Amino acid sequence: MNRAVFSICLLVIAFGTLNSCWAASANTPNHEISLTSGWRITQDVRQLGEENGWYKPDFAADWQPIDRLAHLQLLLAHQPYFGRDLRYFNEAPWWYRLEFAVPPSEQKSALRATLRFEGVDYFAKVWLNGTLLGEHEGYADPFTFEVGNLMHVDKPNVLVVKVSSPWDQKYENPSRPIFSVVRNLLKGSYEHADTFVQRDVNPVGIWRPVKLIFHQGIREADFPSVASSLSEDQKNASARVAWPVFNDNEPGEVSYVVHIKSEENGAEVARSTQQVRLEHGSNTLETKIAIPSPKLWDTWDRGGQPLYTASLEILQSDVQKLFGSVTFGIRTVELRRTADETRFFINGKPVYLRGATYWPDLYLSNMDRARYERDIQAAVHAGINALRIHVHTENPELYEICDRMGVVLLQDNDLNWVFPTDSEFTDRAVHHFGEMIKMLRNHPSVIAWIAMNEASIFPNDKGAKAISTAPGPQLIAEAKELDPTRPVIKDSMDSKDIESGDTHDYRGSLNGGRSQYMDIFGSKTTLATEFGVDAPPAAARLRAIPEVADRLSDVLPRVAELHDYQYHLLKYYIEHYRIQKYSPNAGYFLFMWIDFSPQSFYGVYDYWGAPKVEGLGGGLRALDESNQPVGIFMEYKDAPVALYAVNDSSTDLGKCVAHWHVSSSEGVVVDSSQTVQLGPDSHQKIRDLNFEVKEGESYEITLDLLSAEGKLLAHNSYLDPFHPQPRPKGYPERIDDELGMRLWWAGENE
């Protein structure tokens, strides 16, 4: 397959559908026009389009206009999230056609132009005015073609794109279709009948903006890289800037200037000017710049989020030929891994991660900045300082928001469960992983890459473990080559592998009817990157989707029970981990923050953004009580064990007062207080807690942590904690074949 040459235009572009408009500025060397509206489509159901010349400008067909670029299921399907009718979207390719004219003001410079696609899902083949430009595989990474020599300035240009996202058809174990499909597409968990993503959903289409960028023969040829480092005393920093450019002119001398500016006030803090001979073709302009008195980026609960802008200006005979800019932050990140430790450090200090996995919508084109801001603001309010972007890549806006809000990210690759091990797939997988790293490595919020997810559970298509065979080692090598500043987790879940080190724990939920959430008592976990439990949305919201409400009719009366169970399970897990802070636990990620489709799933919030708070208050109450930076907790199982206070913030809280009150139907059992010293990023055992738990008696416990001045720092409560709620009957361990989704099976014996 031909690989497109990747480049980046770093002009500021608003996400979403753009109107076809002239977006030039007379003061910049690069001008662009949007090619995002005016497209028409048709499906090639007989797959004869190429043979019959559908790419030719004069080809006439029953082209259907679309009002915006988005995944086709969102534009054409009555219900895009489930149902057998969705399968036809992926059984044959789709063809897109757009006619556009070169603006009169650019007709003289039209011989220098770059066609840029921001996102096409999944395979794309592109023609301009009947000439094949090339092909691309992927869904989230931009790709470009040089098209100046093919452009018409005296008549309309015809742009045609063939798009497909086919089904995977090979199974490692045909008798067990769930979890055994061999994933030949590098797009996470889509279309794999595994009870995670609905069986019939496989997004397809041109889903992000398309642009035509006019330039003066010098253009950016790939994503720039800004890698910062700190002196040992952290009083000085340096930035190593690498800017790939392509020169379509004759070789010649140019000067290039790299400016480093503070985003806080726009002040220039560093500059480098160099002369270089720009050869015809690919060049990389590199420089290392000292940055005095750097302001360091950190999580929201530990410090500020200062950002810097690096800009590149290329001048030839004092004429600006290229200008580009990129935002970055200054911080270091380290992951220390031994048999007993899996701990992250930011700027040389350990950081405790209170996180959740995040995948807000099965269709990335359905997301916009407002929805991301809603979700991340709610997460911060719930005490979350970390997200795991699970087996997919999000829109650029998500990473920008996390940079500015101080939420760190573990970024997954798309490799999940079973996939091929041959050299052809390995090459594709390494290329895909590399493009993701190059696209995201300037974001300070991204602190680690995850190369594979749960590959160690299932044998690959050759019967071996992917953790030790292709493409695992090749992915690790690619990450270290492209980004030596960040750690990479080889295979999420494989706690025994020293290059992984994290754990997924579903006792009390996925691990079967005999497991209970209190089974984790006494266990040790260095880093938990998945745990959680299904909970349906509120009944009123479920009824908005009649097909789902009908299938869940027996479950609707039980919504409060299921929300209560999510509350108890999440609370017990989170406090279990926080009581073990750094001994050995370094953090956790509940699965998930929000449901990614209208169904019953793992989110604390439902698909519509409403919290699941029936009954006692659901998972959100667990986060309010147990997930804030400062907390007070009781260790217990069938009896109390001890009290603990935790401070994950960078503030020295000094001498605090812990107060606990225990009551039962017989009256007050215990009412006591004790001082505890809580420095920055600290963890203290307050005392052992012993009182008799009488058979048949229910207990209510409240805990308060107050500053020396009497200010409430943390509050917690427990309602009948020594009699855990049993795992609900009918847990959704099976898939509904008609809707293609997970459902609770109310009342069934397990």
Select from 591, 625, 659 the last residue of a domain.
Answer: 625
- Burial bucket for residue 11 (CB in 10 Å: 0-12, 13-18, 19+): middle
The helix (H) or strand (E) run that includes residue 473 is helix 472-482
**Would you state the pLDDT for residue 12?**
28
Q: Is the peptide bond before 584 cis (omega within 30 degrees of 0)?
A: yes
**Would you state the pLDDT for residue 716?**
98
658 and 569 housed in the same domain: no
637 and 534 housed in the same domain: no
392 and 320 housed in the same domain: no
Residue 449 lies in a domain: yes
Domain count, the chain: 4
278 and 261 housed in the same domain: yes
Within 10 angstroms of residue 42's Cβ, the number of other Cβ atoms is 16
Residue 740 lies in a domain: no
**Would you state the pLDDT for residue 709?**
95
- Can you list the positions of beta strands (E) in 560-653? 587-590, 630-636, 640-647
Asked if 205 and 72 touch (Cβ cutoff 8 Å), the reply is yes
Q: Can you tell me the distance from the alpha carbon of 631 to that of 618, in angstroms, rounded to the nearest whole number? A: 19
| Sequence letter at residue 683 | H
Residue 4 lies in a domain: no
Within 10 angstroms of residue 424's Cβ, the number of other Cβ atoms is 10
DSSP for 178-211 reads TTTB---SSSTTTTS-SSSS-TT----EE-S-EE
Q: Can you tell me the distance from the alpha carbon of 71 to that of 120, in angstroms, rounded to the nearest whole number? A: 9
**Would you state the pLDDT for residue 18?**
27
**Would you state the pLDDT for residue 176?**
62
197 and 276 housed in the same domain: no
Q: Which residues form the domain of 35? A: 31-215
Tokens of 7: 């480049």
Residue 726 lies in a domain: no
Residue 748 lies in a domain: no
**DSSP assignment letter at 171:** B
Asked if 424 and 432 touch (Cβ cutoff 8 Å), the reply is no
Q: What is the block-wise mean pLDDT of the chain (750 residues), using blocks of 10 residues?
A: 34 28 43 94 96 95 94 96 92 97 76 94 98 98 95 94 93 68 88 74 97 93 95 95 95 96 95 95 96 97 97 92 95 94 96 98 97 98 98 97 98 92 94 98 98 83 60 95 96 92 94 88 97 93 87 87 97 98 97 93 95 97 98 97 98 97 95 97 96 94 97 97 91 73 59
By DSSP bridging, strand 446-453 and strand 408-412 are: parallel
Select from 610, 625, 640 the last residue of a domain.
Answer: 625
**Would you state the pLDDT for residue 462?**
58
Burial code (b: 16+ CB inside 10 Å, e: under 16) for 48-75 equals ebeeeebbebebeeeeeebeebbbbbbb
227 and 375 housed in the same domain: no
386 and 528 housed in the same domain: yes
User: The domain spanning residue 676 has which CATH number?
Assistant: 2.60.40.10
Asked if 595 and 537 touch (Cβ cutoff 8 Å), the reply is yes
Burial code (b: 16+ CB inside 10 Å, e: under 16) for 440-458 equals bbbbbbbbbbbbbbbbbbb
**Would you state the pLDDT for residue 11?**
28
| pTM metric for this prediction | 0.93
659 and 690 housed in the same domain: yes
309 and 451 housed in the same domain: no
Residue 7 lies in a domain: no
Phi-psi region of 318 (alpha: psi -120 to 50; beta: other; left: phi over 0): left
Select from 608, 625, 642 the last residue of a domain.
Answer: 625
Q: Can you tell me the distance from the alpha carbon of 10 to that of 311, in angstroms, rounded to the nearest whole number? A: 10
553 and 565 housed in the same domain: yes
496 and 532 housed in the same domain: yes
**Would you state the pLDDT for residue 222?**
94
Asked if 527 and 503 touch (Cβ cutoff 8 Å), the reply is yes
Cα 442 → chain centroid: 15
188 and 234 housed in the same domain: no
Residue 730 lies in a domain: no
DSSP for 104-135 reads GGGTTTTTSEEEEES-EEEEEEEEETTEEEEE
**DSSP assignment letter at 91:** S
Within 10 angstroms of residue 265's Cβ, the number of other Cβ atoms is 7
Tokens of 327: 């935002």
3-state class (DSSP) for residue 726: coil
Residue 737 lies in a domain: no
**Would you state the pLDDT for residue 8?**
31
**Would you state the pLDDT for residue 174?**
66
User: The domain spanning residue 606 has which CATH number?
Assistant: 3.20.20.80
